[in-house]
Amino acid sequence: MSKKECVAMLLAGGQGSRLGVLTSKVAKPAVSFGGKYRIIDFVLSNCANSGINTVGVLTQYRPYLLHEYLGTGEAWNLDERDGGVAILPPFATQTGGSWYAGTADAITQNLGYLESQDAEYILILSGDQLYRMDYEDMLATHKANNADLTVAVMPVPWEDASRFGIMNCADDGRIEEFVEKPAEPKSNLASMGIYIFNAKLLIDTLKEDDKDPNSTHDFGGDIIPKLLADGKRLFTYQFKAYWRDVGTVASFHEANMELLGSEPAFDLFAQDAPIMSNSSTRPPAYVGPKGSVDDSLVDNGCAIMGTVEHSVISAEVYVGKNAIVKDSILFPGAIVEDGAVVINAIMAERSVVKAGAHFGSADEETVTLGDDAVVEKGE
Amino acid sequence: MPKAIGLITCNYTTASKDDVFSGRPVASMPYLGRYRLVDFALSNMVNAGIRNVGMIMPNNYRSLVDHVGSGKDWDLDRKNGGLFIMPGTAFGTSRTGARFLIRDLVQNREFFTKNNEKYVVLSTANFICSVDIKGLIAKHEESGANITVLCKRASCDGNIDVVTFDVEDGRVKSMNQGVKFNQLAFLDYAVIERELLLELIDSFAAVDHLDLFEALNSEYGRFRVMVAEFDRYMKPIFDKDSYFKANMDLLDEDVLTEFANGYPIKTKAHDNPPAKYEPGCKVSNALIASGDRIYGSVQSSVLGRNVIVEPGASVRNSVLMQGVIVKAGAKIENAIIDKNNVVPAGTELRGTDGDILYLKKN
């Protein structure tokens, strides 16, 4: 195998437990988003658009749908002979085997894969974030700083800073201190969980960390503090565009709504870095004679016989006659039967709101309906 | 194990002088927002488990090859079999009439000898229909016919391009060009044993300027050619009006459901975002493909991928192919707007019910 400049390791094993029923059957990176995508599409598209052709995807929690969706990586132009997508679930060895115990441990358990790739740099990514980034630009910054590790950061509102891992830096961007969720933050630059390491340093550090009985094997908690203590050159890469970590139902709902409107916060239509996805081919969406759609995204294969307002509608959704869908997100195959009303709700795949039933309301928190779940009238 | 290989002929044109077909083979004519006509023949074969399909190409094959590529989107990128792009004889798409030209079959004889499947399924690309080819082969085996042809009784006088058969007790006596009300119109799908096709190719080599079914006119007494009748939605596309109608027909929930769910039609995948309906837009009775952005109003129309309808613009009773931009305040009615046209702000393009306006490809 030829020497590669940069390979990506994509952490996609998380459950996303705060998303409740939305992740009861699928891993968070495989959750439907934006009418046509799954969350992992954004990071995989970033890799493809940044010229990174080798991506190891670390999976663990409920991986079937995710594995099926990734396939050979072909949908993101990642099906290359000398590279491509490698799916990396936990595995057994002669001395046993174990679940991934932390973000760093997941990489440590796959050092064999990483060493076989023989790359100069390793890019660590999370499979559950929404943003467009040119990793090539981040790598150029890493090289220009002659850094050992570069951490992507973004400014967050000061009042929120105590919820993030905060980097305190010198004027040249060199990281002097890293504080996880500081009570009194000295900076508002939050770590995005996106790292570029010099490969040899990462591999050596992980091997050492593996032997440390006191380590929790976490990048933020263990690896970065250790490298700082060792006096390594750690730098930030400042990112100022749209970035969301959709951890909760509320933030997931909000991020979908941010795709709407005449000037959306995140523009799916930007031509320079298209978001790619592994979607099936369906006929165009049908809006019926009495149907109407306003301020929404609607994917192929839908039939809209009722009213849809300010919503995100995925493929093969059916909205029946006289039904109303408002401020909601419908995953692929969801059905809103005739006369039903769905407001401020998230309906997961193939879920059904029966004829005349009501689900959700504008005055309460966003409600969620799991995969294949059904809401009967009068419930 | 599939029992058949498929052959789709794409190198002919229609007798129609409508320029909607000029400059591109019928097979790569865009349809219903995101398909090309050849998707139907390809999908019908693939849905029946056929994984070995030859396409006889016209001389202007660029759009067709761009569309089918390696055949991946139809699961035809196989190690054995798969999609075969084959040369047509040098008539380009100027040739009308014969769609299974014997010369084309002779030239590509090798395709029929390189495999062991028992049957060959023949097709063209002009008919919008979801055909159960497995069922057609089963009928063929049941009847013990030499050839089985798929037909539908014509609901009106039809196009000169459509072939009809005179039939007695389900058996073909002769073939004719052109279709009249209630005649059995040939949907250009046929099942034939591979060995028999090879025999016919060899014995008809001297009359290779004829269509296979035309050449059989003197032989229908010797060969049992049986009719299988088709009873689902079907639309032949041989001129502008039938093309327009075939798009409009799908603005009906029942027809669309049959189309979408019966035997799925596969096509080239694209990375378009979902269609975006902007605040204040008005859309009813319309088919809207992914990548569209609608600010204005769209009624009783079919919009292809990546179409933009700007604020104040209106589109009524029309077919817009991919990439069309309707600028602010422009009005389009009873029209077919071909690919990538920009309709300038404030302009009006109006056809009538009986005379659909056509704006050619930009």
- Mean pLDDT, chain B, integer: 93
Contacts of B135 (CB under 8 A, 6+ apart): none
Does the pLDDT of residue B303 top 60, yes or no? yes
Nearest CB to B274: which of A35, A276, A294?
A: A35
pLDDT interval class at B139 (50, 70, 90) = very high
Instruction: Give per-residue pLDDT as tens, A75-133.
Output: 999 998 888 999 999 998 888 888 998 899 999 999 999 999 999 999 999 999 999 99
Nearest CA in chain A to B39: A281
Which residue of B lies nearest to A77 if distances are taken between CA atoms? Answer: B271
Averaged pLDDT of chain A:
94
Report whether pLDDT(B75) > 50.
Answer: yes
Strands A329-330 and A312-313: parallel
Measured between CB atoms, which of B35, B283, B295 is closest to A287? B283
Residue of A nearest to B250 (CA): A286
Tokens linked to A143: 């090289």
B161 pLDDT higher than 90: no
Contacts of B256 in chain A (CB under 8 A): 283, 286, 303
User: Could you tell me if B33 lies within 8 Å of chain A, comparing CB atoms?
Assistant: yes
For residue A41, the surrounding DSSP H or E stretch is helix A40-49
pLDDT over 70 at B320, yes or no: yes
Cβ contact (<8 Å) for A286 and B286? yes
Closest partner residue to A284 (CB to CB) among B34, B278, B293 is B34
Q: Give me the mean pLDDT over the B225-232 stretch.
A: 95
Residue range A259-290, pLDDT digits in tens: 999 999 999 999 889 999 998 889 999 999 99
What pLDDT is stored for residue B158 in this prediction?
78
Q: Strand, helix or coil at A325?
A: strand
Q: Coil, strand, or helix at residue A121?
A: strand
Q: Which chain A residues are closer than 8 Å to B273 by Cβ?
A: 34-36, 268-269, 275, 297
Whether B157 has a pLDDT exceeding 90, the answer reads: no
Residues in chain B closer than 8 A to A262 (CB atoms): 278-279, 295
Size of interface A-B (CB pairs under 8 A): 118
| pLDDT tens figures, A47-56 | 999 999 999 9
Question: What's the pLDDT band for B91 if we cut at 50, 70, 90?
Answer: low
Contact criterion met (CB < 8 Å) for B282 and A292: yes
Give pLDDT, residue B92: 52
Residue A1's pLDDT is 38
Distances (CA, A) of B206 to A2, B86, B195, B213, B218: 58, 22, 19, 15, 14
Yes or no, beta carbons of B273 and A261 under 8 Å apart: no
Chain A interface includes B118 (CB < 8 A): no
- Which residues of A have a CB under 8 Å from any CB of B? 34-36, 75, 260-262, 268-269, 274-277, 279, 281-301, 303, 305, 312-314
Mean pLDDT of B261-268: 84
- Does the pLDDT value for residue B17 go beyond 80? no
What pLDDT does residue B193 have? 97
Three-state secondary structure call for residue A127:
coil
pLDDT value of position B141? 96
Contacts of A291 in chain B (CB under 8 A): 283-285
Q: Do A299 and B253 touch (CB under 8 A)?
A: no
Nearest by CB: A300 against B250, B279, B289: B289
pLDDT tens-place string over residues B162-219: 999 999 999 999 999 989 999 999 999 999 999 999 999 999 999 999 999 999 999 9
B335 three-class SS: strand
Residue A3 has what pLDDT?
Answer: 65
pLDDT score recorded for residue B93 = 54
Query: Model ipTM?
Result: 0.92
DSSP-assigned letters across all residues of B113-131: HS---SEEEEE-S-EEE--
Predicted pLDDT at B257: 84
Q: What are the residues whose beta carbons fall under 8 Å from the beta carbon of A300, sequence distance 6 or more? A: A279, A281, A282, A283, A284, A285, A315, B34, B274, B289, B290
Residues 6+ apart with CB under 8 A from B2: B48, B49, B50, B51, B52, B117
